[in-house]
């Protein structure tokens, strides 16, 4: 699949002549902290933690000032300045491509031993009632995150920014569709049209966020804690954490600081977001129930210190993780609870 994506990207770049932005000469390359790089052939330390030789005049790069998400600087996996048009970097491409596809291969065999262990003929079946629709949150978030991860892998491999985002979105969609298709052969599962719709919506939302920056202030997040750790029951007959929707909560987090007018941003901390979440508990049991949660959310990219290239990328990626914090839980129907560290029962 990676070779197909590479060939398509190179063909599209040749036809389009690259992305519609001007080339960045070596003398104008500026790191996010405002320090200009040196002349061609010199080595330069940028704030992303990498020590690289300055590229040749022919390499077209995205200015650091334009490589942002929700107003904050982005990082590539190895800290290198991203390309404006595709020019494959063989060693990084082999490294991150191997890790990416190796991880997906491991995940495939893990699911084959668990979720898909018992097979059947292909069937179409939805399970919205079984999981009280919590599975849709998982598929939406999964589509978004896999599109992000695929885009990051392609950027580090040398794809141009726009082409990496397009191909990364398509790769996120393709993998999710592949998994859903194999679910169709699982004895206890089935191809779920509505899961397919929600995971497709997640990939579309990722690309839409790239195209319309206003959407970047609203990011899907997730958390997973074994249901027993906060006094609930694991989903009945759940085979892996992947399908134990009693243990997951799926969130949409709003970047309040960036949403505020510039004049008032200094009065609000840039690390404090607001989030709304949905889950279901005790699935498969008579006392199952839906959960709606309103919570404070912490932007880890703003809290954790900067470091080397790999750490900075992980720090950026941790924004998809919702960590415990104060929350109001509404158990449907009706019961409300305040938590200090949701979902753990340290209640106010």
The model's pLDDT over 121-162, given as tens digits with 9 standing for 90+, comes to 898 988 767 899 999 999 999 999 999 999 999 999 999 999
Which residues are 43's β-sheet partners?
A: 53
Look over the chain and give the mean of its residue pLDDT values, rounded to a whole number. 86
In the prediction, which pLDDT does 5 show? 52
What is the rounded CA–CA span in Å between residue 176 and residue 168? 12
| CA 93-97-98 angle, 5° bins | 120
Please check whether residue 138 is in contact with residue 220, taking contact to mean a CB–CB distance below 8 angstroms.
no
Three-state SS at 115: coil
100 phi/psi in degrees, rounded to 5: -65, -55
The angle that helices 161-183 and 193-211 make with each other, rounded to 10 degrees, is 170
pLDDT at position 37 over 60? no
What is the rounded CA–CA span in Å between residue 287 and residue 283? 8
In the prediction, which pLDDT does 128 show? 67
pLDDT in tens, 43-92: 344 445 544 444 444 679 999 999 999 999 999 999 999 999 999 999 99
127-136, 159-168, 222-231: range with lowest mean pLDDT: 127-136
Identify which of 218, 44, 82, 63 has the alpha carbon closest to the alpha carbon of residue 144: 218
Identify which of 160, 148, 107, 93 has the alpha carbon closest to the alpha carbon of residue 316: 148
CB neighbours of 207 closer than 8 A, spacing ≥ 6? 147, 165, 166, 169
Please check whether residue 148 is in contact with residue 323, taking contact to mean a CB–CB distance below 8 angstroms.
no
In the prediction, which pLDDT does 1 show? 53
Residue with the larger pLDDT of the pair 250 and 335? 250
What is the rounded CA–CA span in Å between residue 335 and residue 76? 44
In the prediction, which pLDDT does 35 show? 37
CB neighbours of 165 closer than 8 A, spacing ≥ 6? 151, 207, 210
Which residues are 297's β-sheet partners?
A: 273
CB atoms inside a 10 Å sphere around CB 112: 13
In the prediction, which pLDDT does 30 show? 38
What is the DSSP track for 241-292? GGG-TTSEEEEEEE-HHHHS-GGGGGGS-TTEEEEEEEEEESTTSTT-EEEE
User: Which range, 30-34, 104-108, 334-338, has the best average confidence (pLDDT)?
Assistant: 104-108
pLDDT in tens, 5-35: 544 444 555 444 444 443 444 333 334 543 3
In the prediction, which pLDDT does 181 show? 94
Q: What is the mean pLDDT of residues 251-278?
A: 97
In the prediction, which pLDDT does 119 show? 82
Alpha carbon 102 to its chain centroid, in Å, reads 18
Percent of the chain, pLDDT > 90?
73
CB atoms inside a 10 Å sphere around CB 121: 7
In the prediction, which pLDDT does 148 show? 98
pLDDT at position 115 over 80? yes
What is the DSSP track for 17-50? TS-SS----GGG-B-TTSPBP-STT-EEE-TTS-
In the prediction, which pLDDT does 13 show? 53
Three-state SS at 114: coil
pLDDT in tens, 178-194: 999 999 998 888 899 99
Identify which of 330, 113, 299, 129 has the alpha carbon closest to the alpha carbon of residue 219: 299
pLDDT at position 236 over 50? yes
Task: Report domain extents, the chain.
Answer: 2-347
pLDDT at position 283 over 70? yes
């Amino acid at each position: 699949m990676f070779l197909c994506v590479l060939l398509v990207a190179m063909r599209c770049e040749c036809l389009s002549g690259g992305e519609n932005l001007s080339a960045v000469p070596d003398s104008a390359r500026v790191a996010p902290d405002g320090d200009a790089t040196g002349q061609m052939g010199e080595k330069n330390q940028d704030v992303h933690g990498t020590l690289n030789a300055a590229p040749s005049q022919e390499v077209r790069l995205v200015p650091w000032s334009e490589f942002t998400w929700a107003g904050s600087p982005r990082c590539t996996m190895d800290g290198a300045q991203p390309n404006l048009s595709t020019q494959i970097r063989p060693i990084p491409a082999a490294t991150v491509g191997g890790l990416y596809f190796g991880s997906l291969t491991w995940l495939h065999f893990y699911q084959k031993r668990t979720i898909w262990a018992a097979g059947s003929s292909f069937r179409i079946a939805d399970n919205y009632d079984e999981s009280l629709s919590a599975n849709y949150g998982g598929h939406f978030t999964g589509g978004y995150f896999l599109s992000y991860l695929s885009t990051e892998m392609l950027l580090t491999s040398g794809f141009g920014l726009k082409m990496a985002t397009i191909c990364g979105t398509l790769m996120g969609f393709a993998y999710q569709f592949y998994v859903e298709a194999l679910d169709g052969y699982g004895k206890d599962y089935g191809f779920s049209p509505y899961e397919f719709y929600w995971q497709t919506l997640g990939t579309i939302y990722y690309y839409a966020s790239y195209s319309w920056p206003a959407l970047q202030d609203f990011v899907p997040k997730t958390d997973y804690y074994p249901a027993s750790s906060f006094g609930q029951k694991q989903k009945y007959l759940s085979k892996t954490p992947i399908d134990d929707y009693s243990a997951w909560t799926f969130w949409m987090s709003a970047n309040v600081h960036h949403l505020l007018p510039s004049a008032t941003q200094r009065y609000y901390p840039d690390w404090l977001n607001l989030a709304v979440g949905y889950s279901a508990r005790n699935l498969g049991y008579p006392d199952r129930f839906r959960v709606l949660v309103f919570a404070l959310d912490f932007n880890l990219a703003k809290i954790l210190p900067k470091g080397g290239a790999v750490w900075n990328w992980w720090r950026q990626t941790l924004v998809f993780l919702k960590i415990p914090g104060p929350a109001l839980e509404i158990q449907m129907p009706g019961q409300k609870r305040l938590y200090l560290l949701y979902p753990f029962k340290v209640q106010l």
